[in-house]
Amino acid sequence: MPSTAEKLLSRIGRGARHAWDDVCALVIARRQLAELEARIAVRQIRRLAVVLAVAAVIVVAALPLLSVALALYLAELLRVDFGVLLSLGGTAGLVLGLLLAFVTWRRFRREFVGLEDSLAELREDAAWIREWIERPDATD
Q: Rounded to whole angstroms, how far apart are CA atoms 38 and 81?
A: 55
Q: Rounded to whole angstroms, how far apart are CA atoms 73 and 83?
A: 12
Cα 10–chain centre separation: 47
Which amino acid, 115? L
pLDDT one-digit tens code per residue, 37-52: 999 999 999 999 999 9
pLDDT one-digit tens code per residue, 28-87: 998 898 899 999 999 999 999 999 999 999 888 887 787 788 788 888 998 988 888 778
pLDDT one-digit tens code per residue, 99-126: 999 999 999 999 887 778 888 888 888 8
Q: Rounded to whole angstroms, how far apart are CA atoms 32 and 23?
A: 14
Q: Rounded to whole angstroms, how far apart are CA atoms 29 and 33?
A: 6
Q: Where are the domains of the chain?
A: 4-134
Q: Rounded to whole angstroms, how far apart are CA atoms 2 and 63?
A: 88
Give which of 140, 138, 66 is closest to 97, Cα–Cα: 66
Give which of 65, 76, 102, 70 is closest to 88, Cα–Cα: 70
Give which of 4, 13, 76 is closest to 68, Cα–Cα: 76
